[in-house]
Amino acid sequence: MQGATTRLADGRALHYYFDEGTERPSFPRDRRTLPPPEPASELRYDPLSDEWVVVAEHRQVRTHMPPGDECPLCPSTEARATEVPAAEYDVVVFDNRFPSLSSAIPSGPVSEAEPMFPRRPGVGRCEVVCFTADHDASFADLTPRRVGTVLDAWTDRTADLSRLPDVEQVFVFENRGPEIGVTLNHPHGQIYGYPFVTPRTKRVLASARAHRERTGGNLFADILAAEQRARVRLIAQTPYWTAFVPAAARWPMEIHLYPNRQVPDLPALDVEERVDFRAVYLEVLRRLDAVFGVKMPYVSGWHQAPVRGEEDRALSWLRLELFSTRRAAERLKFLAGSESGMGVFVNDVAPEAAARALRETRIADAPPALHTQSAVGA
């Protein structure tokens, strides 16, 4: 992996990652004058849900949908300095200027000034990952080589953040499309280093422990095997990865991508799995865009094991979960009363129908081997 690290004008770290064979460009300094990052976040405990909520008032003034010629994620030019001082780049990762969680906040004890509602500093990390310097591209437009560079960056940052004493779980994700709530159109994702294990992960691991006690098996392995046997919801299957619509999908278009062997996190993937991921993930994204003939809004996130805890890490199975709010070419799924109020999802699209539509969608540049392996029931 080729990389280099510099600092922005306010002291935030900036990491450059280069495609294999790319010559390293020069690394000009950040010529902007920026105030130091504000330690403005805090965590507040919700006793009803037994969860921590992040309160980050400073994010109200973050950049929101600027025109293309004012994008802060594009390379810098002589006329305009951005978050990336270089005139060109392959992949960059840098500390978010408006983070929900920040290393600039000193760690401290839980405040019990209001005993019913404890508070603690919003310590953690929030990083931005730019997949390409091309403002008008998307992840699905990347070459396999560039996907490999992005995967290298995700892996490197996961390893680095996992070593921080205040980080308990690392979440790598991409939000795409204004329908999802994206505030910058440039193709990018984010990495959160949470100071706690997230509620979703706690619930899933509790289910995995109960399944092990009941059956002696691994929940994720058994789900993967069941989907591979059923085949009706498979999207793509290779020697190293399996993509499928889950049997109880909550979203109109929802795809889970599992490595075919158990690993806890991105750094644990081997060379063959990393190389194979490039093509299979591009196929999944391109099928998603093609199924309705419009660019699909989505959230795509890596579910990794907690950083600490041998039992939790031994139970966990790395997986990528991707979902879209689009249920038809001109219709979106909104989280209304049942979903938002009670957490009970109502899906308008049968998972088997979604899988069939994704599977039968034609994409001209999909690798022939994947077409063959994706032809479920052929």
Taking the CA of residue 257 as centre, how many other CA atoms within 13 Å lie in the half-sphere pointing to its CB?
Answer: 23
Report d(CA 333, CA 292) in Å as an integer. Answer: 14
Q: Which of 335, 270, 327, 326 is nearest to 298 (CA)?
A: 326
- 65-73: long-range contacts (C-beta < 8 A, 24 or more apart)? 65/178, 65/183, 65/184, 65/185, 66/184, 68/135, 68/136, 68/185, 71/135, 71/184, 71/185, 71/186, 72/184, 73/128, 73/130, 73/135, 73/184, 73/186, 73/188
Within the chain, how many helices (H) and strands (E) appear?
7, 16
Distance CA 125, CA 334 (A): 30
**Per DSSP, which regions of the chain are E strands?**
2-7, 13-18, 41-46, 51-56, 91-95, 119-121, 125-130, 169-176, 188-194, 234-237, 241-244, 253-259, 298-303, 319-324, 326-328, 331-332
Contact 125, 273 (CB under 8 A): no
Helix or strand run (H / E) with residue 249: none
Q: Beta partners for 242?
A: 237, 258
Of 90, 111, 68, 62, the C-alpha closest to 2 is 90
- As a whole number of angstroms, the distance between CA 220 and CA 262 comes to 9
User: Which residues are paired to 129 by β-bridges?
Assistant: 93, 189
Contacts of 354 (CB under 8 A, 6+ apart): 245, 249, 252, 253, 254
Residue 141 tokens read as 């437009």
- Catalytic one of 15, 186, 188, 256: 188
Q: Is 58 a catalytic residue?
A: no
Rounded Cα gap, residues 320 and 303, in angstroms: 6
Q: Which is it for strands 234-237 and 298-303: parallel, antiparallel or unpaired?
A: unpaired
Tell me the C-alpha distance between 288 and 106, whole Å. 42
Q: Which residues are catalytic?
A: 188
